[in-house]
Amino acid sequence: MELFTPLTRPLAAWRDRLLGRGDAACTVPILDGVLQPNQRLETAAVAWAAPTGSLELRDLVSDGRQLWLADGPRLRALTPQADGRLASEERLVAAGPITALCALPERLGGGVAYAVAGREVQILGGSHHGRRWTGLAERDFTAVNGLAAGGDALIVTDASAQHAPDDWQRDLMSLGASGRVVRLGLAPVDDGKDRSDRVLADGLRHPFGAVAHGSALWVSESWRHRVVALGAGDRPSPVLDQLPGYPSRLAPAGGGGFWLTVFAGRTQLVEFVLREREFRQRMTASMPPELWIAPQLRPPRSFLEPLQGGAIKQMGVLKPWAPPRSYGLVIRLDAAGRPLASLHSRVDGQHHGIVAAAECAGALYVLSRGAGRVLRLDLNTLAPETGA
Amino acid sequence: MNDTLTRLRYRWWPDHVIGEVLAKPWMETAIPMGVLIAVAFTLSGLIPGFLAADQLASTARQAGELGFLVLGLALVMIGGGVDLSIGSIFALTNFVALLCLHELQWPLAPALAATVLAGMALGAVNGLLIGYLRLRAFLTTLITLIVFRAVYELVNADHATAIAAHLPDSPTWDFLGSGLFLGVTAVVWVFAFVALAGHVFLTRLRPGWHVMAIGGSRRAAHNAGIAVRRSIAWTYVASGGLTALGSLFFASRLASVGGDIGQGLEVTVLTAAVLGGIGLGGGRGSVTKAVVGLLIVLLITNGLTTLSPSGGVNRMVLAIILITAAVVDIRWVKNRHRIVSRVYVSPDFLELPPAPSCAPDSGTVWAMNDKLRSVEVIGLGQVEGPEDVILDEDDHLYSGSRHGDIVRFLAPDYQRREIFAHIGGQPLGMAFDRQGNLNVCVGGMGLYQVTPQREVRKLTDETNRSWHSVNDDSRLRLADDLDIAADGRIFFSEATRRYEMSEYAVDALESRKSGRIICYDPRDGSTRTVIDHLLFPNGISMLPDGESFLFAQTSAASVSRYWFEGPKKGRIEPILTGLPGYPDNINLASDGHFWLALVGMRGPALDLAMRMPAFRKRMTQRLPFDEWVFPNINNGCVLKFNLQGEVLETLWDPSGVNHPMITSMREHKGWLYLGGLSNNRIGRYRLPEGAGRPDFVHYAHRWGSGFSRSGAEQGRA
C-alpha cells in the first residue's frame, strides 16, 4: 500500500475537502475534563496594571525573589508587597519593545536575558553582562518571543523567519512554519561543557517559549496547538497535543511540572479560514489584523471586528460559551505533561491573551497581555487542584 | 475582474433552485422513479418489442387489477399497519362475484355491490380487531389470511361446479373483462380514476391527512384529537373494498375459481408497495409511489418470464433488484434532509459600496458619540424581543414580545405592564390605522390587527404565488414592518420567502434577493406583491405626498423610495446607499425628517465574505450556525435623514450597556423610544431641548387627533 500513497493521497485530500473530513474538518477540542471552564483568572486580583494602554506587556519571569516584566521598551523589576500588589522599578529602556525575558540562574552566570524587537538577544547583569546576539547560522533573529535557561545554554525560540513577534497573526494566516529553537552557549569556560551556539530545531510552527525538563527541552508550538519535547538529535515529539487554544510560554511550577499559558482560544471559524487560501490572502491584504477573522489577544473593541453567531448578545448578555475571539487560559501540567488543572477567563471576561505565568513568593503571577495586567493568584488556594 | 466573473456566475446560475427542488416532498419518489426508468430501458434493450403497444397493454391490464390491491395496502401501510390477508380476500371476493353472477344469476349491479360489500366486510374484520381491539396488524392479518383462505376452500369446494356450469349473459360484465374504451381496457380507466381519487383523498382531504398523521405518530395524532381507532379501522375496510374491486375485473376476465387464486399475492403487492417507497413504519407514501412500485414489479416479472431463464435465476434477479432498490431508497430517504440542508443555503454575490468611517475623530456626521449612553430603561426583564415600539395618544407604550404577546406599559411612568393582546407569533412592525386599530406584522404568521377592544384579527397570511419560484411562496414567512396609506391600504415588507423567522440571520448571510413588499387592501381583502426581489426589505414609512413610501433593505445597507400612485407610479429611487450599517425600521420625526435604526454595523471581513459566495457556502456547510461570521448586530445607532438622502444626525452608544441593540425607534412628545429584537427592555432617550416637538404623537399627527382615544374609550365602555 505504501507504494500507492503518492497516488492516493491527493485523492484522499480531495475527498476530504469535498466532504469536510480529515484535514478539512474544522473541529476543535472542547474544554472538558480538567479544562472545564471556571472564572479563576477573571476574578484574580490585579497586582499590577499597565499605565499606558494594553498589549504592551509582553513577558513576565521570576528569579525567585522578584518578577521581571517587559513593558514596551521598559524592563521593570516588580517586587511583591505585603498587600499583594507589586512595586515597580524601571531597570532599563531598550531600543525597541522587549519581546522576551529570562532570569538566568547562577550556573549560567546570573542576570537577565532579554530580546529587543525580536531581533536581538542581550544580557543585563551577571557575568555575561553586555553580551548580545543578532542571529545564528546565516539567519538573523526575526521573532524572538521566548528565552529559557537550559542546562548550559540560553534557549531562544525564534517564532518566524518572516514576521516580527507582534505580527503573529500574519504568521498564522500565512500558515507559517519557519520557527526555530536555538541554543546560545553560556557555560563557564573551563569545565568542559558544550559552549557552542546551535540550532536545535527548525521548521516549527510558531514556537513560543521553552522550558528545560531534565535533559530534554519542552517547547510550545502555537500553530500546531501542542507542546513538543526536543531531545538530543531526535525529532520533536509531542508531549501534549490537541490543545483547545494556541499555547504560549511555559514556566516551572513549585511542586514539579509546569504552567502552560494559552494566549487565544481556537474556533472552528478560524480553523475554517485557515483552509481558505483566497479569502485569507484577500483579508490579510486589505485590512488591519484586528479586523481579521483570526485569534485576538483582547475582546472586540470595535463593531468593525467580525462577529460570530454565538456571540450575538441575547437579552443584553454575551454568553460566556460563545466562540472565543479572545480567551484567557492557564494550564497546570504535571512532570509528564498531563494537564492537572486550568484557570480561565471566559469569553465575557477581560483577562485574555495570557502570555506568561511565573511563581514568586507563594503566589502565581499571570500576565494578561490583552488586559495589560499582571494578575495574582495565591498558590495555597490553587493547591488542591494543582497538586502543588 | 475576478469579482465581475463571480458576479456574473451568481447572477445567471440559480444555485438556490437545487435546494428548493430537493426539498420538495415529491423528491422522495425520485429513486423509485429512477429504478422504473432503468428497468424499462434495460429490459427493452434485452427483449425486442418489450415496450411495444400490445405488451404495454397487457402490462397495463395487470397493473389495473393488481393496482387496486396495492392502493388498498398502501393506505393501510400509510396508517401504520399492514394487511397480509388481501390475497385471501381477493380469492373470496372473486368467489362472491362469480357466485352471484354465475350460480345465483343476479343482475350485474347488485352483484357488483355485493362483491364490494363482501370485501369491505372482510376488511372490517381486520379493522375491528386491529383498530378497535388494538391487536398487532401483522399477526392479525396473518391469521385472517389463513382463516379467509380456509373459508374460501370450503365454499369453493361446494360451488365450483355450479359456477363453472353457468355463464352470465351480460355484455357489461364482458366489457369489464376485456372491453376497450379509446383503445385502452376498461380496468385501466377505472384504476386511473380510483388512483386519482386516492391521490386527492390522501393529499387534499381531511380523512386522508388523518391517516397520514396517524402513521407518522399515533400518539401525536391522538393528542391532536384525531379518532385514531376509527380511522385505522376504516383503512382496513377500504383495503378490503379495493381488493374486491380488483377481484371483480379478474373474475370478469377469467371467471376462474381455481384453488390457487390469490395465493402469494400479498407478497407481490407488498413488494410493490415497499419498492415504491411506502414506508413500513407508516406515515410515508403516496399513490404515485404505489403505482411506480407496482410497475417496477410487473416489468421485472414480465421481462424475466419472457427471457425465461430457469425459475431460480428468475426469482434471484428479482430478489437482488428488490434488495438493491430497497437499500438505495432507505439511504436516500434517510439522508435526503441532510443533502437538502447542505445545499439549501446558497449565498449570492453581494458587493456593497464602501462604508463611511464612523470613527469619533472622523469629523463627519457619522462620528461616534455617546448620546444614547443615558438612555432610560423601561420594563427591564418584563419584555423579551420588543422589535418595534409604538405609543397611543394617551402615551401608553406598546411593544411586541417573543412570547407572542403585545405588551402594554401604562403611562405616565411605565412601571405597570399588561398583556394587551396575545397573537401567538412574535409581533414585529406596528402601526395604528385611522380607526385606532393596531396593525401588526407577525413573524411566521402574517399581517394581523388588534382592535381597541383587544380583538385579534388576521388580515392576511398569503399573497399571490410568483411563477418563477420553486417553493410555494404564497404563504408569508417573515412579515416584517408596515405602514398604512391614506386610503387604508397596508404596505408591508416580507424580509425573505426562503427562511423562517428564527433563521433570519441565515438569509442575511445568504443575501439573495428573496424579500418583497406586499400590499393588503382592506377594501376588497386582496393581497398582492408590489415589489419583488429585494434584499431583506425591512422598515417602511409612508411619505406625506400620499403616493410614495420609504423602505429599507437591510442586507443591501440602503433606503429607497417607491411610488405606488401618481405620475411616478412604480418607480424606485435610492435615497441612502452605502450605509455603514444595516438599516431596520424607518419612522417619521416631528420635524418632517425621518428616523432610521441601524440594527447592526458592517465590518470589512464580512463585506469581503459577501463578495465570496463560495466561501460563505462552504462555511455554512462545514460549520455550525453559532460559528458563522455574522452581521455585527451587537452595535448599532439611530440616525436622522431627509428625502434628499442627507444624514443629519447620528445617535450612538458604543458601550451598549443600557440598550444593546436597536431595531426601531419612535418619537413621541420629545422622547425617542427604542426597541431591539433581542433585548429584554425598552429604551427611551430624551431629545435635546428644541430638537423635537413636545406634542408630537406619530399617528395622531398622521390621522388627526382622537383616532386612538375614541377606540380606547369604546373598549372601556
What would the pLDDT profile of B164-215 be if each residue is shown by its tens digit? Answer: 777 777 777 777 777 777 777 888 889 999 999 999 999 899 999 999 999 9
Q: How far apart are CA A238 and CA B612, in angstroms?
A: 37
DSSP state for residue B352 in the 8-state scheme = P
pLDDT band at A18 (very low <50, low <70, confident <90, very high): confident
What is the mean predicted confidence (pLDDT) over B565-590? 94
**Residue B658 touches partner A, C-beta closer than 8 Å:** no
pLDDT band at B717 (very low <50, low <70, confident <90, very high): very low
**Residue A23 touches partner B, C-beta closer than 8 Å:** no
**Residue A303 touches partner B, C-beta closer than 8 Å:** yes
Q: Which of B604, B622, B631 sits opposite A272 (nearest CB)?
A: B622
Residues from chain A that touch B628, judged by Cβ atoms under 8 A, are: 269, 308-309
Residues from chain A that touch B608, judged by Cβ atoms under 8 A, are: 279, 282-283, 286-287
Nearest CA to B69 out of B270, B295, B278, B281 is that of B270
Residues from chain B that touch A318, judged by Cβ atoms under 8 A, are: 634
What are the extents of the domains in chain A? 28-188+196-300+316-386
Cβ within 8 Å, pair B627-A305: no
What is the mean predicted confidence (pLDDT) over B572-580? 94
Alpha helices, DSSP H, located in A74-191: 168-173
In this predicted model, which residue has the larger pLDDT, B183 or B104?
Answer: B104
Cβ within 8 Å, pair B623-A269: yes
Which residue in chain B is spatially nearest to A20 when comparing CA positions?
B622
Q: Which of A230-239, B84-93, B653-662 has the highest mean pLDDT?
A: B84-93
B window 363-382, beta carbon within 8 A of A: none
Cis peptide before B631 (omega within 30 of 0): no
pLDDT band at B715 (very low <50, low <70, confident <90, very high): very low
Q: How far apart are CA B183 and CA B179, in angstroms?
A: 9
Residue B716: per-residue pLDDT: 46
**How many CA atoms does the CB half-sphere of B629 hold within 13 Å?**
30
Residue B391: per-residue pLDDT: 93
Q: Which of A279, A283, A323 sits opposite B627 (nearest CB)?
A: A323
* Cα B74–chain centre separation: 24
Sign of the torsion formed by the C-alpha atoms of A222, A225, A229 and A235:
negative
What lies within 8 Å, CB to CB, of B333 at 6+ separation is B28, B277, B279, B284
Q: How far apart are CA A305 and CA A284, in angstroms?
A: 14
Residue A388: per-residue pLDDT: 45
Q: How far apart are CA A340 and CA B34, in angstroms?
A: 58
Minimal C-alpha gap between B575 and chain A (Å): 24
Which residue in chain A is spatially nearest to B619 when comparing CA positions?
A272
> CB–CB of A281/A343 below 8 Å?
no
Minimal C-alpha gap between B468 and chain A (Å): 31
* Cα B398–chain centre separation: 32
**DSSP secondary structure string, B179-197?**
-EETTEEHHHHHHHHHHHH
**Residue A315 touches partner B, C-beta closer than 8 Å:** yes
What is the mean predicted confidence (pLDDT) over B74-95? 92
**For helices B206-216 and B228-254, what crossing angle results, to 10°?**
110
- What percentage of chain B carries pLDDT values higher than 70? 97
Give tens-digit pLDDT for B132-169: 998 999 999 999 999 999 999 898 888 888 887 777 77
Task: Classify residue B693 by burial, with Cβ atoms within 10 Å: 0-12, 13-18, 19+.
Answer: middle
Which residue in chain B is spatially nearest to A25 when comparing CA positions?
B622
Give tens-digit pLDDT for B348-363: 999 999 999 998 888 8
Cβ within 8 Å, pair B612-A309: no
**Residue B626 touches partner A, C-beta closer than 8 Å:** yes
ipTM of this predicted structure: 0.89
Q: Which of A26, A308, A316 sits opposite B630 (nearest CB)?
A: A308
Nearest CA to B575 out of B538, B545, B549 is that of B549
Residue B278: per-residue pLDDT: 85
* Cα B402–chain centre separation: 22
What would the CATH number be for the domain defined by A28-188+196-300+316-386? 2.120.10.30
Domain B57-303 class?
mainly alpha
Average pLDDT, chain B: 88
What lies within 8 Å, CB to CB, of A66 at 6+ separation is A77, A78, A79, A80, A360
pLDDT at A385 over 70: no
Cβ within 8 Å, pair A286-B604: yes
pLDDT at B402 over 80: yes
For residues B225-253, one letter each, b for 16 or more C-beta atoms within 10 angstroms of the residue's C-beta and e for the rest, the string is ebebbebbbbbbbbbbbbbbbbbbbbbbb
pLDDT at A310 over 50: yes
Nearest CA to B75 out of B156, B137, B11, B8 is that of B137
DSSP state for residue B151 in the 8-state scheme = H
Cβ within 8 Å, pair A279-B608: yes
Rounded (to 5) percent helix, strand, coil in chain A: 20, 40, 45
Give tens-digit pLDDT for A47-74: 999 876 678 999 999 988 899 999 989 9
pLDDT at B66 over 80: yes
B window 566-605, beta carbon within 8 A of A: 600-605
A window 250-279, beta carbon within 8 A of B: 267-269, 272, 276, 278-279
Cβ within 8 Å, pair A309-B678: no
Helix H or strand E encompassing A246 = strand A245-252
Cβ neighbours of B505 (radius 10 Å): 16
Which residue in chain A is spatially nearest to B629 when comparing CA positions?
A308
Give tens-digit pLDDT for B684-700: 999 988 888 888 998 88
Minimal C-alpha gap between A307 and chain B (Å): 5
pLDDT at A383 over 80: no
The torsion region of residue A278 among left (phi > 0), alpha (psi -120 to 50) and beta comes to alpha
Does domain B380-463+471-716 bear CATH number 3.40.1410.10? Answer: no
Size of interface A-B (CB pairs under 8 A): 108
Cβ within 8 Å, pair A268-B623: yes
> CB–CB of B698/B390 below 8 Å?
yes
